[in-house]
Amino acid sequence: MYYFIVNMKSGSGSASYCWSEIRSVLARRKVEYKAFRTKRKGHATVLAKKISRLEGRVINLIVVGGDGTINEVINGIEDFKKVRVGIIPTGSGNDCVRGLNISGSPGDILESILDNDDYMNIDLGRVKSNSMRKPRYYVISSGVGMDAIVCKKTIGSKQKRFLNRFGMGKLVYLLITIETLLSMRTVRGTISFDGEKSKEFDRLIFAAAMNLKAEGGGVPMAPTALPDDGRLSMCLAHDISRIMCFVKLPVLVCGRHDMLKGFVLRDFGSCVIHLERPVTLHADGEYLGEATDIYFEIQKNRLKLLNEIV
């Protein structure tokens, strides 16, 4: 038995075509399944919670949606030991499947899942802050500052929905990033990795705790990050002017920012950030409020992934 959580609004409506292709494969192969469609924001979490409570030694749960739907699902799973998750992307950003090297048509991806009796363990990140009632898991990244502000502005963006129709949704991330970078306020604070002594920074532009290589429609914030190495990768931009960061943006987009002044890349197991005023926080593009105290940590081998990773 396979359980599907389907977000029909993902990718500005393209999910309906993907789901049709998936159903054709299921019918042809006579696969027993049950499908549940999301009806509102947060509904995928509720559905995943109910499915993970079902009896059985193993539960195969396949997500048909974008990065936000995937994030909602993993935060609804109550028993990671018995739930195995497959991903079939229908979103516009699709940073999750890009970072996991999952490719092909929806039908091809499903065929691969059905033909694969095994799974692989991948890490998850977890973030806690004073703006949240409880910790939140993430697959791609969690960050504070510019990247989080961009995510907040992109959610529900009319421009994104319009450009998605022409396969140009990524352009919205770039345009909003430029606008945000030129208008945002920087912030002072401290950061500590793995229990080390805290270091001060004067002008934080962003801090992104990455589990996968890229976010924001493919920007390689942490080019060496891997989903199964037991570490998160921090990409930190601080103590440079916003204008200079704008000038260096093309280098960041090309993933060559590791040698640039003002950028710090570091692998870690846990990290604590304290900010002098509340700043926007996100996880996998989902808005998590305005926070001053943030804690990131790795959750090793937390998720059983049904997809084959090339």
> Is residue 307, in this structure, part of any structural domain at all?
no
What is the rounded distance in angstroms from the CA atom of residue 147 to the CA atom of residue 182? Answer: 13
H/E stretch holding 288 reads: strand 286-305
**Exposure letters 25-35 (e unless 16+ CB within 10 A, then b):** bbeeeeeeeee
Tell me, yes or no, whether 108 and 153 share the same domain.
no
Domain ends where: 117, 145, 164?
117
Tell me, yes or no, whether 164 and 94 share the same domain.
no
Q: What is the pLDDT along the chain (310 residues), one digit of tens a residue?
A: 999 999 988 765 678 889 999 999 999 999 999 999 999 999 999 999 999 999 989 999 999 999 999 999 999 999 999 999 999 998 767 899 999 999 999 999 999 999 988 899 999 999 999 999 999 999 999 999 998 998 888 776 555 555 455 455 556 667 788 888 878 899 999 999 999 999 999 999 999 999 999 998 888 999 999 999 999 999 999 998 888 888 888 898 889 898 888 899 999 999 999 999 999 999 999 999 999 999 999 999 999 999 987 6
Between 67-74 and 43-52, two packed helices, what is the crossing angle to 10 degrees? 40
Tell me, yes or no, whether 151 and 110 share the same domain.
no
Residues in Cβ contact with 307 at an 8 Å cutoff, skipping those fewer than 6 apart: 86, 87, 100, 102, 109, 112, 113, 116
**Number of folded domains in the chain?**
2
The one-letter code for the residue type at 266 is: R
> Is residue 10, in this structure, part of any structural domain at all?
yes
Domain of residue 88, CATH code = 3.40.50.10330
Tell me, yes or no, whether 171 and 91 share the same domain.
no
Tell me, yes or no, whether 39 and 144 share the same domain.
no
Relative to beta strand 187-193, strand 270-283 is antiparallel
The vertex-172 CA angle with 249 and 175, nearest 5°, equals: 40
Domain of residue 236, CATH code = 2.60.200.40
Two tokens, residue 169: 């949704």
Can you give the pLDDT at residue 129?
98
> Is residue 165, in this structure, part of any structural domain at all?
yes
Q: Are the CB atoms for 103 and 310 separated by under 8 Å?
A: yes
Tell me, yes or no, whether 95 and 128 share the same domain.
no
Confirm whether pTM is higher than 0.85: yes
Domain ends where: 95, 117, 139?
117
> Is residue 305, in this structure, part of any structural domain at all?
no
Tell me, yes or no, whether 109 and 174 share the same domain.
no
Can you give the pLDDT at residue 250?
86
Tell me, yes or no, whether 161 and 88 share the same domain.
no
Please give the C-alpha separations between residue 306 and each of 24, 51, 115, 157, 254, in angstroms, as whole numbers: 20, 16, 10, 32, 30
Domain ends where: 117, 149, 183?
117
Can you give the pLDDT at residue 13?
61
φ/ψ of residue 12, rounded to 5: 55, 40
Can you give the pLDDT at residue 115?
93
Can you give the pLDDT at residue 52?
96
φ/ψ of residue 297, rounded to 5: -155, 155
> Is residue 309, in this structure, part of any structural domain at all?
no
> Which residue do the tokens 């290589």 mark?
213
Q: Are the CB atoms for 142 and 209 separated by under 8 Å?
A: yes
Tell me, yes or no, whether 155 and 86 share the same domain.
no
Q: Which domain holds residue 96?
A: 2-117
